Every structure is written in C-alpha cells, then in structure tokens.
C-alpha cells in the first residue's frame, strides 16, 4: 500500500472531537437533528458556541452546516435581534440560543413538503425571530437594572422571572433604579461597604494617635534688658570696677584723707593706693541694673511633641448588612431613597458575588430579614419589598442586636452595617456598649444614611459616619420644595454642643467648667 494513502484509524474519531467540547445541553440536540450530516453539525455547533460567548455573530459564511440558504437567512435574523450583546460571557444564554436554532432548523423536515424549500426557510426564520424578540426585550430590561444576567436569567426559571417583569412590582424596581441613578455619591458609598480587601485609599484609624518629638530652630520673641544712659537704676550688690559714679564711700575716703604735716605721708600713700586700684579696675562700686526692658528676637532650638493620626488602608468589598427604617415617618421622599439603597445593595452584591442581608424594621416585633443575591428568588423578594409602602413605629434595638449577632458570627465577621433612616429613634445604653465591644473585636463600621433634615442624637451615637441625602424631597410627591429648610444637618451639635455626650463625659465637662471658674475668680485675675 502506498504511504500517501494509508488508512488513519483515528480519522473516524477526529470528526466527532467536538463532542468533548460541548455539554449535554448542546451535543444531544445536535445529534438528534435531521438536517445535514452529523460531523458537520457538531463542528458548526462548536464554532457557534465559541463565537456567541465572545460576543460575535454565531453564523458566518463558510460554516460547514447548515445549507447556504438557511445559513444566510438565520445569520441576518441573529444580526437583527442583536443577540451577541446578550450572550457575551453568558454560557447559559449562549446554549439556549443554539438549542433554539437547532430546534427551528429541525422543523424544516416537516415544513418543506407543505411550504416548499423557500417557504419553509422563511417560516423557520420568522418563528425564531418571534420566539426571541420578546425574550430579548425582557433580558435587556433585566440588564438595564442589574447590569448582568449571571444567576438571574436562568432559563429553568425564566417563566418566573418574566412573571416578575410583567407584574406591577417591577415598576417599583424601575423607580428605585431611576432614583439611585440620580444619586451617584450614595451609590458609590454603598459599593464601598465591607472589609474584605484593602484598597489604595487610606483612612484615619479611629482613636489611634502617633506621638513623636520634633526639634526645630525658630525665631522667638524674648524680653531683654536694655542699658540706656540716664535710665532708672536699681542697686543689686557690690562689684569691683573703675566706675567713679558708683564708687562706695569707703573707697572715696582713700582719696579724700585728712591733710596735715603729720598726715602727708599717709595721705600720699592712700592716694597712690586709690590710683592703683582705679588703674586695675579694682575699686569697690555699687552693682546697679537698669530697669528698662524691651523685646527682641532670638534664634532658639524648640523641642515639641507632635501627635499625628495613624493611617491604614481602607477596607472594601465585604459582606453588607443593610438596615432600612420602614416607619411611617419615612413615607414619601425618604421611602424612595431608602428603596434605592436596597436596590443598589442588591446590585452590588450580585455583581461582585458578595453576601448581603436586608433587615427592614419599624415598630417592636416588626423585623423582616431577607438575603439578597443574584438569583430569581432575590429578584422576586426585592420587587415585593420595593412595591410595599412604609408604615408603623420605630424600634432600632431589635434590628441592631440582630446585626451585631450576625457580625459576631464567623461568616459575617468582615461585614459592615448600613442604617438608612431619618434618625427618629434612640438606642439604649446597653446596646451602645455592646456595639462598642463588637467594634473593638471585629473592626465593624456603622455607616449611617440620613434621609432627613436633622442629625439626631440617636443616629450620632449609633453610627461612625453619617452621609446626608440633602435633596431627598425631590423624590416625594407630597413635598412642594426640594431645597432643605436648614443650612446644616448638625443643628443639635451647633446649638447644644454637649447634648451628645455620655453621662460620664457630661460630668467631667461640668467639673472642668467649675474648676476653671474657681481659678479665674482668684485675686489678681
């Protein structure tokens, strides 16, 4: 046998190699299809799947299957529907598109005897377009809100998701999406919640101060004595000098000794002694200091103790616990903003595969807990929550205790807490002490979102940071104005500075004030 025409025993298996690349959802309908040859079908289906995943048109000229008339008609239909925009990076949607193509192509064997070749191809293309036109619109609607179809557009439960899209509750989802689109800073704040990984941004470590001693040379103002002639003087002691103006009487007696014949020799000796002391600047004179004092600038070395805050890398992208106040005081504009926070938390959790739990609370015993994820159940639950109206009282103790219990658990240890409210609540001292203990143990951060006009004491004592949604009025229908009636959210802190102090801090402030008053009332002050 010639070497060029030897039989290759692996040639039969090579034609069916695409079976190893395709899952059962694709190779089973490809095998059972009645149009064309099996090997050509498998090679074409494998190429379609790779192109759709890459966001490209599935069918191109030159594909081994199907026939050119069917290939051209279906290729135009795919281009008109813009399906590659939906299948890019979504294996499940890509598989469903190919399964639908195979099913409609398989209908040709039934339609050709009745409609002819051209009529059957046109009917198959029309049926495929009608089947995917509605689904494409629904998928784009989901993409517009959630930015991804991973885990949400599952075709096993596609009918349930379409039921949500056709329900009135979906309008509440769209309203929340429009609201968060006008609040980019609030959306960015929600995305930063969590403590799973560090980022390049730095933040101040609360309560930590780094002290260091610094040495610097500075010009300082000092008071110095100025020696001026004729200025008032003050005698401080005796010193030796040749200043005759300050001469002591005992020294002047040496020069003014008594005269007479028998005292001439003594007088001459004393005068010689006086002259010698004067020459040697050894006369006893008064030590006097001028009382004139004037300031002057001198260069000195200054030692100072500096305190600097300790910086650390900011932590983000961890689990989120979102507490939403659903009391009656939140009705209107605050309710719309709070619902937008819930939707953004769910979108962030679905996009970044993060754990998120929603705690909605109102009065005592009215606490609802809901996990938010990238699945149909979460979409249905959030749609139902967003379609409800807020009513009831306000009790922060139960949801806060539940959130602290979750954070103490190992699965939620890196979680941050978000409280969206108008601040009309008051935490108990025991709850605040427990929150401080959890902060020390886990590093938990409590982010407050103030949807109101005044930063209340309850919100200040509960949260580490507070973000003020200043223009919340424009989301409510019952308010005639958009601008807030106050110039600052911290009205309580401005007009009552010690209102937020704890009992021990207030006692210390009063004692310090009393001590200062006593000291200032001393004589000479």
pLDDT value for 410: 80
Q: What is the pLDDT, as a whole number, of residue 126?
A: 93
Number of neighbouring beta carbons within 10 Å of residue 103: 15
Share of the chain above pLDDT 70, in %: 79
pLDDT at 369: 93
Q: Would you state the pLDDT for residue 497?
A: 59
The C-alpha angle 344, 345, 346, rounded to 5 degrees, equals 90
pLDDT of residue 340: 94
Give residue 514's pLDDT band: very low, low, confident or very high (50, 70, 90).
very low
Q: Which residue has the higher pLDDT, 504 or 82?
A: 82
| Rounded Cα gap, residues 209 and 227, in angstroms | 49
Write out the DSSP string of 420-480: EE-------HHHHHHHHHHHHHH---EEEEE-SSS--HHHHHH-SEEEE-TTGGGG-SS-S
CA distance 21 to 42: 10
Q: What is the pLDDT of the chain when averaged over all its residues?
A: 81
SS3 355: coil
Kindly state the average pLDDT of the residues 506-521: 42
pLDDT band per the 50, 70, 90 thresholds, residue 505: very low
> What Cα–Cα distance (Å) separates residue 296 from each residue in 218, 232, 289?
13, 20, 18
Give residue-wise pLDDT tens across range 417-435.
999 999 888 889 999 999 9
Does 122 have pLDDT greater than 90? yes
Model pLDDT, residue 108: 92
Residue 521 has pLDDT above 50, yes or no: no
The pLDDT value recorded for residue 291 is 65
Beta bridge partners of residue 110, listed in sequence order: none
Cβ count within 10 A of residue 72:
14
With beta carbons less than 8 A apart as the criterion, state whether 313 and 198 touch: yes
Asked if residue 451 lies in contact with residue 420, where contact means CB atoms within 8 angstroms, the answer is: yes
How far is 41 from 306, CA to CA, in rounded Å? 77
Task: Specify which residues 290 forms β-bridges with.
Answer: 233
Q: What is the mean pLDDT of residues 76-86?
A: 88
The reported pLDDT for the residue numbered 313 is: 62
Quote the DSSP letter at residue 247.
B
Asked whether the CA dihedral 289, 290, 292, 298 is positive or negative, the reply is negative
Residue 279 CA to residue 374 CA, distance in Å, equals 107
Burial of residue 362, with CB atoms counted within 10 A of its CB: 0-12 exposed, 13-18 middle, 19 or more buried: buried
- Which of left, alpha, beta for 503 (phi over 0: left; psi -120 to 50: alpha)? alpha
Identify the band that residue 523 occupies on the pLDDT scale cut at 50, 70 and 90.
very low
Between residues 164 and 8, which one has the greater pLDDT? 164
User: What does the pLDDT average to over 98-109?
Assistant: 93
264 CB neighbour count, 10 Å cutoff: 11
Contacts of 50 (CB under 8 A, 6+ apart): none
Q: What integer pLDDT is reported at residue 46 of this predicted model? A: 92
In tens, the pLDDT along 439-471 reads 888 888 899 999 988 888 888 889 988 999 988
- Please state, for a pLDDT cut of 90, what percent of the chain lies above it: 30
Q: Over the stretch 381-418, which tens digit does the pLDDT of each residue have?
A: 999 999 998 888 888 999 999 999 999 988 888 889 99
Residue 456 C-alpha from the chain's centroid:
22
Task: Please give the pLDDT value at position 232.
Answer: 56
Q: Which two tokens stand for residue 431?
A: 């709850």
Of 198 and 360, the one with more pLDDT: 360
Helix, strand or coil, per DSSP, at residue 52 = helix
Report how far apart, in Å, the C-alpha atoms of 314 and of each of 193, 195, 199, 201 are.
Answer: 10, 8, 6, 6
Parallel, antiparallel, or unpaired: how do β-strands 465-468 and 446-450 relate? parallel
Q: What is the pTM of this model?
A: 0.66
Instruction: Check residues 495 and 126 and name the one with the higher pLDDT.
Output: 126
Q: Which residue has the higher pLDDT, 301 or 159?
A: 301
pLDDT reading at 321 higher than 70: yes
Residues 216 and 439: beta-carbon distance below 8 Å:
no
The residues, ordered by sequence, that sit 6+ positions from 324 with a Cβ below 8 Å of its Cβ are 338, 341, 342, 358, 359, 360, 361, 420, 421
For the chain, state the CA radius of gyration.
45
pLDDT digits (tens, 9 = 90+) for 32-71: 999 988 989 999 999 999 999 998 988 988 889 999 999 9
């Amino acid at each position: 046998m010639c070497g060029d025409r030897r039989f290759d025993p692996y040639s039969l298996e090579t034609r069916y190699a695409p079976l190893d690349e395709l899952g059962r959802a694709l190779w089973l309908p490809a095998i059972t299809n009645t149009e064309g040859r099996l090997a050509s079908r498998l090679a074409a289906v494998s190429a379609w799947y790779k192109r759709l995943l890459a966001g490209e048109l599935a069918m191109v000229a030159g594909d081994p299957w199907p026939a050119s008339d069917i290939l051209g008609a279906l290729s135009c239909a795919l281009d008109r529907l813009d399906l590659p925009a939906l299948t890019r990076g979504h294996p499940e949607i890509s598989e469903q598109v190919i399964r639908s193509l195979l099913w409609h192509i398989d209908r040709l064997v039934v339609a050709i005897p009745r409609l002819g070749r051209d009529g059957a191809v046109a009917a198959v293309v029309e049926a495929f377009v009608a089947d995917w036109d509605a689904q494409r619109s629904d998928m784009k609607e989901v993409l517009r809100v959630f930015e991804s179809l991973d885990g949400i557009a599952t075709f096993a439960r596609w009918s349930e998701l379409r039921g949500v899209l056709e329900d009135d509750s979906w309008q509440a989802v769209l309203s929340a999406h429009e609201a968060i689109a006008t609040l980019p800073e609030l959306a960015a704040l929600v995305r930063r919640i969590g403590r799973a990984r560090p980022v390049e941004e730095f933040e101040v470590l609360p309560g930590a101060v780094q002290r260091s001693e610094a040495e610097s040379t500075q010009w300082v103002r000092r008071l110095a004595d100025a020696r001026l002639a004729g200025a008032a003087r003050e005698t401080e002691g005796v010193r030796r000098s040749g200043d005759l103006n300050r001469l002591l009487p005992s020294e002047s007696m040496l020069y003014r000794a008594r005269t007479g014949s028998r005292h001439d020799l003594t007088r001459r000796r004393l005068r010689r002694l006086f002259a010698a002391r004067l020459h040697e600047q050894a006369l006893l004179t008064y030590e006097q200091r001028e009382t004139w004092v004037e300031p002057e600038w001198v260069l000195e070395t200054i030692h100072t103790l500096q305190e600097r805050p300790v910086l650390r890398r900011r932590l983000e992208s961890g689990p989120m616990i979102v507490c939403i106040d659903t009391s009656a005081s939140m009705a209107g504009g605050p309710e719309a903003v709070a619902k937008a926070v819930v939707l953004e938390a769910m979108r962030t959790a679905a996009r970044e595969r993060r754990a998120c739990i929603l705690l909605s609370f109102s009065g005592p015993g009215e606490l609802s807990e809901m996990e938010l994820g990238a699945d149909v159940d979460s979409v249905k639950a959030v749609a139902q929550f967003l379609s409800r109206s807020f009513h009831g009282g306000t009790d922060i103790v139960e949801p806060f205790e539940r959130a602290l219990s979750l954070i103490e658990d190992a699965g939620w240890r890196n979680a941050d807490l978000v409280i969206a409210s108008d601040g009309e609540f008051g935490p108990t001292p025991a709850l605040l002490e427990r929150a401080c203990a959890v902060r020390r143990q886990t590093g938990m951060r409590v982010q407050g979102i103030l949807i109101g006009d005044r930063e209340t004491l309850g919100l200040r004592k509960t949260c580490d940071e507070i973000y003020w949604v200043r223009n919340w009025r424009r989301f409510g229908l019952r308010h005639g104005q958009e601008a807030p009636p106050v110039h600052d959210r911290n009205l309580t802190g401005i007009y009552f500075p010690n209102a937020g102090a704890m009992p021990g801090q207030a006692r210390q402030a009063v004692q310090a004030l009393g001590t200062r008053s006593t000291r200032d009332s001393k004589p000479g002050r």
